[in-house]
Amino acid sequence: MTVRSERLRRASLDAIPSISDERARITTTFYKEHLGRHSVPVMRALNFLAICDQKTLWMGDGELIVGERGPAPKAVPTYPELTCHSADDLRILDARPKTSYAVEPSVIETYERDIVPFWTGRSLRDQMFTLLPQEWHDAYAAGCFTEFMEQRAPGHTVADGKIYVKGLRDAQADIARTEAALDLERDPEALDKREQLRAMSIACDAVIRFAQRHADLADAQATACDDPARRAELRKIADTCRWVPAHAPRDFHEALQAYWFCHLAVITELNGWDAFSPGHLDQHLWPFYQRGLADGSLTRESARELLECFFVKFNNHTAPPKVGVTAAESGTYTDFANINLAGLLRDGSDGSNALTHLLLDIIDEMHLLQPSSNVQVSRKTPDVVLKHALRVIRNGYGFPSLFNADAVVEEQLRQGKTLEDAREGGCSGCVEVGAFGKEAYILTGYFNLVKMLELALHDGFDARTGRHIGARTGDPADFRDFDDLFAAFSAQVRHMLDIKIRGNQVIERVYATRMPHTFLSVITDDCIATGRDYNAGGARYNNTFIQAVGIGSVTDSLVALKQLVFDDTTMPLQDLIAIADADFDGHEVLRQRLVNTLPKYGNDDDAADALMTQTFRMLFESIDGRPNTKGGAYRLEMLPTTCHVYFGEVCGASTDGRRAGAPVSEGISPVQGADRRGPTAVLKSASKMDHVKTGGTLLNMKFTPGVLEGEGGIDRLHSLVRSYFKLDGHHVQFNVVTAATLRQAQADPSAHRDLIVRVAGYSDYFCDLSAALQDEIIHRTEHAEF
Amino acid sequence: MATTGLVFNVQRFSIHDGPGVRTTVFMKGCPLRCAWCHNPESQACGEAFVRLGHRCMRCGRCSDDELADPVVSGRGRHDVALCPTGALQAVGDTTTVADLVQAVVRDRVFFDESGGGVTFSGGEPLQQAGFVAEAMRDLRADGVHTALDTCGFARWDDLRAVAAHADLVLYDLKVIDDARHRAATGASNRIILDNLRALSRVHANIWIRVPVIPGVNDDEANVAATCALLRELPGVDRVDLLPFHATGAAKFARVGLDDAMAGTVPPAPGHLEALAAHLRAAGLTTTIGGQS
């Protein structure tokens, strides 16, 4: 790192996350004045324009890449038109011990006086909740599923390469062409399309004007600057901001700044999930890098410094906090921006290059939480690239994560995408697959598999909420065999998916009609060509995902039921259910038997793994291909983020010996500590799932540092990853840390502030995690050497 | 009737027993009694039982007297199946060749990717030479790289027969001086050295493994004698120095044996490097730790 990069990095790490009410004030004032005067998309675009014109700019000392979403680094704006914090929410955010956000008293006053009164009943969340049926509310309250879009807009998407070859003025020309071709006489949607197109053009103006304001500020700073070197930098920044993103970038610096303005635009207009991501950064920047080296305007070192400044920008952008928070709840500052490296080019050739290695060096050296990073490993990816990534992973930050690029392509082909679009796609957020720049691939919520089995064992009754929320699948005493039990489990899954999907359809239409994302639509194909918004089916591909959680726990629970009740007939089903309902009180010997002596998923044991695949097939058949409201389909994903902790809290004890309230298994990983036959057995078990039928699976593994020592250690890990991918595994990520270290960090957080661990699809500071999540990570099996 | 063997562990992802990612099959029964043994529970021939005290929940199935006795007696497989925590374990499973082959090839994809395979270790695999030869033959025929890890204390015919199916032989060499060897292992090394000389004439791929045990064989004289021997042997192309570590200690207590190495400190890295340098100076490729 250069002195500048180190200083900017340190400033970013030291900055305290805070809440800014500026965006809320501008938006509220705008809505009070303009409500009812414009169509919905134009209203949204004009509100965005008002923010871009009025927001406080930040240009930090020494910065080369400029622009912040808030008035200062880590000052997080709010989005009251979507979801409005109460004054109590803000007080809790300010006071809670972990992942807090500083809130000035004046912000709370503004909220109480202006923001809350106006948005109560008007925010999209309030509107949505009144439209959702009671069955949805009951299931949601019971923890059967979560809902992504009640707090944040659909996002989950990634840029392709178009912004590097076309400026926003070019986009506006395309918009004008579509508008000119509209047939107001015959097309009943022509007016809607015209309003959408005009809104998109306004959004382009907003971003161009936002960039111009930065150019003016840079010039003003340059004029006042005594240091000739910095003055020259500021003039370069001013030139850059005058040119991009209005026009296609001409050099490496402009390319990074062009992306950054698009990034800020996407996350300022709405608070979409997973922020935004640059996609295949090494591939996109490669022509600018080569040209810069060739004409002498760039060196490897100057490119490196620009990239480091670019990385700091991501880390400055803390996730917007939730509303309706409780004091006990902690979240994450991470906003899930995720950079793809290596992978394939559109023509199918290897996409890695010298920038892949440069970026891996930067990821290693800076080890910032954001941006997160992953390597897309195809059969064509050279070993030297994967091994470089593994050396970074060995340092223990949990990144980059590793994806099977060939499986990622195959998954998308199965969904009907073109081969080229599939290759240009990749992974974002945690492990989600999409066609970059061409797809709205929306995660809608986690789905609690353990709760579904619980409902099957209680005829649809949820003891915690005291309501009959599930299907009436009958008294378990009447189950004649395991097939009957599995049929009841399947019926509960389908019943709850029906409720979930009926709710999703409402939510999708609410966003489609009331909350378009006008700027994101400009840079997502084919929104301009069709005159439709990103949130209304304008993207070329529209997949809606449901994320199943707890397949390890549910598999092990099914194994116990099958073996004890139906195969060995050593215990009547009613007895086992009653004992679990009493949280094994007085039955610790039985609980130990369940934990220690039965086949478990994660040990390459065909008896257990067969129930995992049976469950997976049932889930897949229940979800895949069901139509969404955007011309696309529902798909299955297997990832938890941190939801396995919450889902465990709302479930009673399960028949695998898990106690009431304890976390369920995460991703497709085995139950924490249940895998006892080493890493190859885990990978074998996980690979029995048909990953190609998903939109992403998540596998966590934890190694002690000793296993990965030396070149031999890298070679071994390399062969494990290549083997798993040969078996069509989708993704794997590694923690390289001992449980002892984690326990020390728990006992003495102040001495371990910098300890970064992999949670599930993202890395976070260990000391910022909730105690339950810390414990869960400690209990994951630690693979040592033999 | 199918050939059976007594296997006490099938360890996947073994990284110290030959090249690549391997599955190590530990055969039960050993003719030597090395004080530093990592697997003392494997020494006796025949099935035995152990109790892992840290796992025991005192469920009441075993009496307090039994729990106080480190040697498990009067318990059988039925009790193992009923132990709720897995504290009571059988040491040794009677296995057919076909079942063992099936268990090993589960990790084929990892062998293929890493250049790994199967290693037969122990105990002493040549104690069950017929079973091991058959299993190795079948695995090799199925495309699995095979290694034999032996102490060399066996009938030459057995060694020759098994080594014929081994792509690689890991041959333990402890002490060259016979009197010292007897003291350390309870047996003469005459057969071991004769077998090694004979093997090196018929097998082209032998790695010598020297456990470096402080006070037993880590002196210059023993290393010099080791060099003198190995230089003459055509089939030897590598020496692994395996530093003593105390993993056997807990296991000795578990099976009710005295730990003669109690208090022994692992050899210092500098000392290991000096020994390795001596071997390398004699033209022998030498590693510390034996990882590929």
Cβ neighbours of residue B102 closer than 8 Å, sequence gap 6 or more: none
Chain A residues touching residue B57 (CB < 8 angstroms): 588-589, 592
Residue-wise burial string across A277-286, b where 16 or more C-beta atoms lie within 10 A, e elsewhere: bbbbbbbbbb
- Give the rounded percent of residues in chain A with a pLDDT score beyond 70: 99
* A329–chain B nearest CA distance, Å: 35
Q: Rounded to whole angstroms, how far apart are CA atoms A4 and A305?
A: 8
Are B66 and B206 in the same domain? no
Select the residue from A719, A720, A782 to test the B interface by mutation, using most B Cβ atoms within 10 A.
Answer: A719
Is B104 found in the same domain as B157? yes
Nearest CB among B20, B57, B112 relative to A592 is that of B57
Tracing tokens 């009951």 back to the chain, one arrives at A138
- Distance between B107 CA and the closest CA of chain A, angstroms: 7
Q: Which residues of B touch A783 (CB under 8 A)?
A: 13
* Strand partners for B243: B212
Nearest to B12 among A590, A677, A785 (CB): A677
Contacts of A229 (CB under 8 A, 6+ apart): none
Cα–Cα–Cα angle for A402, A405, A407, nearest 5°? 110
Residues of chain A positioned with their CB less than 8 A from the CB of B86: 596-597
Nearest CB to B13 within list A589, A678, A712: A678
User: B208 in a domain, yes or no?
Assistant: yes
CB B21 to CB A684 under 8 A?
no
- CB nearest to A726's CB, from B81, B86, B113: B113
Decide if B36 is inside a domain: yes
* Nearest residue of chain B to residue A595 (CA atoms): B85
Q: What is the pLDDT of residue A631?
A: 96
Cβ atoms of A17 and A175 closer than 8 Å: no
Give the mean model confidence (pLDDT) for residues B152-159. Answer: 98
Structure tokens at B119: 């290693």
Between chains, do B13 and A723 touch, taking CB under 8 Å as contact?
no
Determine how β-strand A426-428 pairs with β-strand A75-76: unpaired
Q: Is residue B40 situated within a structural domain? A: yes
**C-alpha B63: how far from its chain's center?**
34
Task: Inspect the interface and report whether the beta carbons of B13 and A786 lie closer than 8 Å.
Answer: yes
- Average pLDDT (A740-751) is 88
**Active-site residue flag, A643:** no
- Give yes or no: A432 in active site: yes
Single out the residue in B89, B115, B146 at which a domain terminates: B89
- Give the residue numbers spanning the domain of B71: 48-89
| Higher-pLDDT residue of A661, B74 | A661
pLDDT at B104 over 80: yes
List pLDDT tens digits, range A57-112. 999 999 999 999 999 999 999 999 999 999 999 999 999 988 999 999 999 999 99
DSSP state of A669: P
Q: Do B173 and B197 fall into the same domain?
A: yes
Per-residue pLDDT for A121 more than 60? Answer: yes
Query: What distance in Å separates residue B116's CA from the closest CA in chain A?
Result: 10
Pairwise CB contact (< 8 Å): A680 & B116: no
Give a yes or no: residue B59 inside a domain.
yes
Of A179-188, A695-704, B64-73, B140-149, minimum mean pLDDT range: B64-73
Regarding predicted confidence, which is higher, B73 or A234? Answer: A234
User: Which of A379, A564, A579, A592 is best to mutate for the B interface (most B CBs within 10 A)?
Assistant: A592
pLDDT at A753 over 90: no
- Same domain, yes or no: B104 and B157: yes
Alpha-carbon distance of A160 to A351, in angstroms, equals 14
Task: Count up the domains in chain B and report the number.
Answer: 2
**Pair (B24, B53) in one structural domain:** no
CB-based contact, B178 to chain A, within 8 Å? no
Place B239 in a pLDDT band, splitting at 50, 70 and 90: very high
Q: Using the 3D structure, point to which of B68, B89, B110 is the last residue of a domain.
A: B89
Q: Are residues B63 and B77 in the same domain?
A: yes
Band the pLDDT of A754: cuts 50, 70, 90: confident
Is residue B152 domain-shared with residue B25, that is, in the same domain? yes
Chain A residue with Cα closest to B81? A597
| Residue B200: closest CA among B157, B224, B178, B230 | B230
Name residues whose C-beta falls within 8 Å of residue A114's C-beta, 6 or more positions apart in sequence.
A25, A28
Q: Which amino acid is at A145?
A: F
Mean pLDDT over residues A678-700, rounded?
97
- The answer to the question of residue B3 being in a domain is no
The Cα-based distances of A459 to A463, A470, A473, B112 in angstroms read: 11, 7, 5, 49
Task: Tell me, yes or no, whether B24 lies in a domain.
Answer: yes
Q: Is residue B121 part of a domain?
A: yes
pLDDT interval class at B250 (50, 70, 90): low
- pTM of the model as a whole: 0.95
Structure tokens at B78: 């039925």
Question: What is the full DSSP assignment across A243-282?
Answer: HTTTS---SHHHHHHHHHHHHHHHHHH---TT--B-SBHH
Catalytic residue among A430, A527, A643, A767: A430
- pLDDT given at position A360: 98
Q: Give the CA dihedral B207, B213, B214, B216, nearest 10 degrees.
A: -100
- What is the longest distance spanned by two Cα atoms in chain A? 86
The answer to whether the CB atoms of B107 and A680 lie below 8 A apart is yes
User: Is the same domain home to B127 and B241?
Assistant: yes
Within an 8 Å CB–CB cutoff, is residue B109 touching chain A?
yes
DSSP characters over A313-325: HHHT-PPPPPSS-
Instruction: Locate the chain B residue with the closest alpha carbon to A680.
Output: B13
Tell me how far apart the alpha carbons of residues A72 and A652 are, in angstroms, rounded to a whole number.
Answer: 45
Provide the β-strand partners of residue A344. Answer: A350
Task: Give pLDDT tens digits for B30-51.
Answer: 999 998 888 888 888 888 898 8
Among the listed residues A179, A432, A439, A508, the single catalytic one is: A432
Cβ separation A716–B21 shorter than 8 A = yes
Question: Which CATH number belongs to the domain containing residue B266 in this structure?
Answer: 3.20.20.70
| Non-local CB neighbours of A764 within 8 Å, separated by 6+ positions | A332, A333, A334, A369, A756, A757
Is B283 a member of any domain? yes
Contacts B21 to A, Cβ<8 Å: 680, 716, 719-720
**B206 and B257 fall within a common domain:** yes
Residue A350, strand partner residues: A344
Cβ separation B15–A593 shorter than 8 A: no
Residues B216 and B190 in one domain: yes
Rounded distance between C-alpha atoms, residue A470 and residue A489, angstroms: 10
Q: Which of A380-389, A609-618, A668-677, B67-76 has the lowest mean pLDDT?
A: B67-76
Residues B148 and B77 in one domain: no
| pLDDT attached to residue B36 | 86
Same domain, B60 and B163: no
State residue B1's pLDDT score. 66
User: Stretch A436-441: mean pLDDT, rounded?
Assistant: 97
Average pLDDT over chain A reads 96
pLDDT in tens, B166-205: 999 999 999 999 999 999 999 999 999 999 999 999 999 9
Distance CA B100, CA B124 (A): 17
What is residue B157's predicted lDDT score, i.e. its pLDDT?
98
Mean pLDDT of B121-140: 97
Contact B205, B174 (CB under 8 A): no
Residues A713 and A385: beta-carbon distance below 8 Å? no
Question: Which of A190-204, A486-500, A745-759 has the lowest average pLDDT?
Answer: A745-759
- Which residue among B34, B66, B89 closes a domain? B89
**Cα-based angle A524, A530, A532 (whole degrees, multiple of 5):** 70
Measured on CA atoms in the order B74, B77, B78, B81, is the torsion positive or negative? Answer: positive
